[in-house]
């Protein structure tokens, strides 16, 4: 029988495994990740991996959620900067995230493999990823309303803009490169403005 971990130890181990997985993903890509190598590099028994994930795909999905949460958390201190132009602020954030991701997908196999994996996931798994964005959008909306920047925010509408952006982003190769950036930003900004009452 394996060692019983405290909740704090479980959290620390899971984060260590995900951080180590990120390093290995960057070095080797998702497809060649070896669980034995991952646990060895993290200094954790191989069996411990299976306390958190049933397989490598489940780990990759959690790592994607972990990175998304980190990116969103980095924006929270900048909420005051959004008050003058809420739609412009959120539009720019989404656009910048997507363009950064597009560059990574184009140049690093890890990101392309991760996007392919995400498309194969069940609706339940995709909803778990969407929940992270929904929580972030609710925090942002609450901040806007409390500070008088907006009267009302349709968070579900904004979440659907995120979903629409991901669909459009996934098919970026179908667009003429000279036009994609402008079309993409216009889609984001016009979508967001529909769901805010200033």
Give pLDDT, residue 108.
66
Alpha-helical segments (H) within 2-85: 7-28, 35-42, 46-52, 56-75
Domains of the chain: 1-52 (1.10.10.60), 61-197 (1.10.357)
pLDDT band at 172 (very low <50, low <70, confident <90, very high): confident
Point out which residues pair with 197 in neighbouring strands: 152
Give pLDDT, residue 124.
64
Give pLDDT, residue 122.
57
- Cα separation, 68 vs 53, in Å, equals 19
Q: What is the pTM assigned to this prediction?
A: 0.79
Does the pLDDT value for residue 162 go beyond 90?
Answer: no
Burial group, residue 185, by CB count within 10 angstroms (0-12, 13-18, 19+):
middle
Does the pLDDT value for residue 149 go beyond 50?
Answer: yes
Q: What percentage of residues in the chain have a pLDDT greater than 70?
A: 84
């Amino acid at each position: 029988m394996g060692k019983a971990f405290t909740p704090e130890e479980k959290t620390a181990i899971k984060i260590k495994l995900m951080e180590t997985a990120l390093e290995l993903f960057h070095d080797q890509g998702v497809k060649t990740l070896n669980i034995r190598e991952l646990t060895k590099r993290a200094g954790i028994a191989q069996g411990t991996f299976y306390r958190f994930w049933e397989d490598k795909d489940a780990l990759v999905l959690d790592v994607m959620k972990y990175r998304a949460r980190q990116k969103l958390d980095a924006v929270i201190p900048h909420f005051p900067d959004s008050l003058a132009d809420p739609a412009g602020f959120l539009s720019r954030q989404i656009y910048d995230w997507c363009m950064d991701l597009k560059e990574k997908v184009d140049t690093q196999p890890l990101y392309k493999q991760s996007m392919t994996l995400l498309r194969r996931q069940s609706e339940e798994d995709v909803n778990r990823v969407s929940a992270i964005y929904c929580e972030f959008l609710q925090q942002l909306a609450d901040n806007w309303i409390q500070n008088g920047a907006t009267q009302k925010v349709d968070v579900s509408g904004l979440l659907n803009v995120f979903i629409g952006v991901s669909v459009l982003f996934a098919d970026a190769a179908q667009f003429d490169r000279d036009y994609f950036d402008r079309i993409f930003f216009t889609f984001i900004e016009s979508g967001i403005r529909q769901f805010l009452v200033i």
